[in-house]
Amino acid sequence: MSSFTDAAVTELRSIVAVIDQEILQLPPTPVLREAWAKLVHVMALGPAPQTRECPACHTIGMRAASRCGHCWAALEPLPSLSDKAVEK
């Protein structure tokens, strides 16, 4: 099983998105559609992780982090995304 760096996974996600858009532009054969769906399933990239900017050093880090991975500044907890959906 291959493992990819975070940068490679990010690049794979954008490549998959481009190919998805191109497939929508032409009438793909059922074989192509099925093979593409299987490939995307096997890669199991999942959604892109949610990130946020550190208010102290402006480095991008994980949304759920309690400290910046770059400067170690304490980060305020953010409301959960499900809380934001309820507010709307």
* Domain assignments of the chain as residue spans, ordered by start: 6-43, 51-87
pTM: 0.59
Confidence of residue 84 (pLDDT cuts 50, 70, 90): low
Q: What average pLDDT does range 1-23 have in this prediction?
A: 87
How do residues 32-62 score in pLDDT, each as one tens digit? Answer: 999 999 999 999 888 888 999 999 999 999 9
CA distance 58 to 65: 14
